Amino acid sequence: MGIYFDEESRLFFIETKSTTMCLAVTDTEGFLNNVYYGAKIQRDNLRYLLRTGVGPFVPSVNERDRGSYLDCARMEFPSSGVGDYRPSSVTIADCAGHDSSQFLYESHRIYKGKECLYAKLPEGSNVRMPATFDGEGKAETLEITLSDDVLGIKALLSYSVFDDSDAILKSVKLVNDSDSTVIIEKLMSSCLDLDKGVWGEQTPDAVTLSGTWARERRIDRRPLQRGTTEVYSTRGETSHQFQPFMALCDRNTDDATGRIYAQTLIWSGNFICGSSMDQFDNIRSYIGINPEHFKWNLKPGESFQAPEAVLVYTEDGFDGMSHIFHDLFRDHLIRSPYLHKERPVLINNWEATYFDFNTEKLLSIASEAKKCGIEMLVMDDGWFGKRSDDNSSLGDWVVNEDKLPGGLKALSDGLEKMGMKFGIWFEPEMVSPDSDLYLAHPDWAIAVPGRKPCKMRNQYVLDITRSEVRDHVYKCVSDILKSAKISYVKWDMNRQLCDLGSTQFDPESMGRLSYLYTISVYDLQGRLLEEFPDLLLENCSGGGARYDAGMLFYSPQIWCSDDTDAYERLSIQAGTEMLYPLSTMGAHVSASPNHITGRVMPFDVRGAVALSGTFGYELDITKIPEEEREAIPGQVELYHRYGEIVREGDYFRIAREAETVYFDAWMSVLKDKSKALLTYIQCKAYPNGKARVIRLKGLDPDSSYEIKLIGTGEKKTWEAISPGALSGKTLMNAGIIVPLLPGDYAQMMFEISTI
């Protein structure tokens, strides 16, 4: 593992535990080519993979058809306008309006560790960008400097590896060493060219995560065709619609086996992620900032930093891919002190009361919740200004004492007396037209002069790229947190960006707005956690529209979706768990019928599904049926008993309801394989069928395991077919029998532990 450079062959070897990436510098002009990325190999001389001995030859040999080479070589940082007609990594316009560039090898350095990434705000302050970090000396980094001598621009390509991970981290920084301002119109964080020979005769499948509000991150899989397959966001957030993620896999790849090339972006704003297959069936896969609504004037002496990309290669199927992403994010991205701790079981009042609450009602909910073992009350929207619905008061972060006499301190003191923690909801980036803030500062909202602004949820977006706006927002949040004993903040964003105009930018700089908006969010949350280091921060954006690796740098958990219907959550959580650790996923038990779908589901099934994330409740505990209220202490006890397995263990998908129609199943296994938790959900009754065989995963083949039914479920039936102690090898190959359960929506959960 590590990074090596062979002077004689001019080859870079970037090695993880199980993979190798090899970059080559061509002999003459110094093109940087990616000649290999895949399973780990020896550091042999791979220059033959440059194909310089066969047509179309490098330009020094065949200047007559220079473009033929440029249009098919495996470029590591492909430029635009010089003969490579595939999607480029970079487009830069010079002062004469030309947008051609050609970056060639200049130098490199290899060093232990990993440097932080920084962006600069308009007033000149630096903001640390979210990126993986090296906390224990486990990283090694290669920085390759490419140069376009005509433009006078350098591109610093960084590649980092950790000795405990199979991921490769890539980022790009452009530096203007010229005497003229240039315009960056496009900059990808990563580009990966894959030769047709990688796939044999079949082209790969492309796997993405897509959806909409209340249906986030559904798994899409389709064959890659000639042309371009892309997912993207221009909404100022990563979005409900698409996730910054794409995996290319063999047609026969499943959860357990098969080759996968996957990429994601540690970023929370506009992005584009795609794969393009050319006339030779070669594939170029790329990810970075979406060039739409982006333009950056780079002045002499300035630099621009792109977000960090994560590349993963595995031959162990989607489970193997998920484990690499999960471990990387847990070990090298999430910084919260809550990362390895049990999170408090909370109850949120939103679906219980919406805007209709007061101190008395909240304390009555908290009192009943405390009896059931719930540990925190979170007060959602409606506690400030004159807000009795979603048409006013965003920006007026002053407590409404008609609802909350004595303010937040009186409420938090009441909660503390009963032994409950207190959390609160904010939407700091927004402003209502009907608010004191907007009346005083209408120019603080993002808008295009002379154009009718587009309202969403009857609100506008504050221009937090302006330091005075950002400082005002921060002070409002900070003052509220200092006014009472508040342990938790849910930071929401309920609309997207549009009407991209700011009073602080001149016409040439307006294309900075979307990028700097995201950096400003990072600045706000970074400052908040610096002042309140013990705060449990949960990000949210109308549900899961900002569920991305960038936000995990600040919050150890993110609200997965506003749709808490347990059946819908099966698909939402299956997609989310492909990329993100279960401990990051906000998952709550809500009332039935569900507030969004109207679906009626048993309380135990709702609990079993929610137990796969950061567990909590979204309901009025004072109004639910007595039998449901009596079941809550048992669910809370299960969360505490098995929280470590879910939080720290390896996740395995056993079956997806989207494929089986009738059932869904998954399990988490501790790293030492001593204990596992298996969850089985029967979605539909199956007439005249047999009991199902479920083959387990992730166990030690040579250890003996005991299987115990937990929670509710068909206890008598299970006792009749319980297999007793079995080896891990038997459980993974022969499996266990799970009975058909009576009716739609039923569950069984099993503890599997060594004996």
Which residues are tagged catalytic?
548, 628
Spatial CA neighbour of 311 closest among 289, 285, 330:
285
CA distances from 386 to 396, 404, 407, 436, 494 (A): 9, 12, 14, 10, 19
CA 528 to chain centre: 21
Residues 80/90, Cβ–Cβ less than 8 Å: yes
Residues 69/57, Cβ–Cβ less than 8 Å: yes
- Residue 191 is encoded by which pair of tokens? 């580009």
Spatial CA neighbour of 173 closest among 149, 155, 190:
155
Please report the sign of the dihedral spanned by the C-alpha atoms of residue 268, residue 217, residue 600, residue 605. negative
- How far apart are alpha carbons 505 and 152 in whole angstroms? 26
- How far apart are alpha carbons 424 and 469 in whole angstroms? 22
Coil, strand or helix at 83: coil
- Residue 90 is encoded by which pair of tokens? 């970079």
- Exposure on the CB side of residue 253, measured as CA atoms within 13 A: 29
Residue 387 backbone dihedrals phi, psi, to 5 degrees? -75, 110
Report the chain's terminal Cα–Cα distance, integer Å.
36
Residues 259/303, Cβ–Cβ less than 8 Å: no
- Residue 129 is encoded by which pair of tokens? 């960008």
Task: Tell me if the bond preceding 56 is cis, omega within 30° of 0.
Answer: yes
CA distances from 259 to 204, 248, 250, 286, 320 (A): 10, 8, 6, 18, 10
- Exposure on the CB side of residue 752, measured as CA atoms within 13 A: 31
- What does the DSSP 8-state code read for residue 198? G
Spatial CA neighbour of 673 closest among 613, 618, 735, 728:
728
HEC per residue, 354-407:
CCCCCHHHHHHHHHHHHHCCCCEEEECCCCECCCCCCCCCCCCCCECCCCCCCH
- Residue 345 is encoded by which pair of tokens? 């079981």
Which residue is associated with the tokens 């569920």?
A: 547
Coil, strand or helix at 313: strand
- How far apart are alpha carbons 158 and 143 in whole angstroms? 4
- Residue 381 is encoded by which pair of tokens? 């929207």
- How far apart are alpha carbons 519 and 128 in whole angstroms? 9
- How far apart are alpha carbons 263 and 260 in whole angstroms? 10
- Residue 157 is encoded by which pair of tokens? 């390509």
Please report the sign of the dihedral spanned by the C-alpha atoms of residue 392, residue 397, residue 400, residue 404. positive
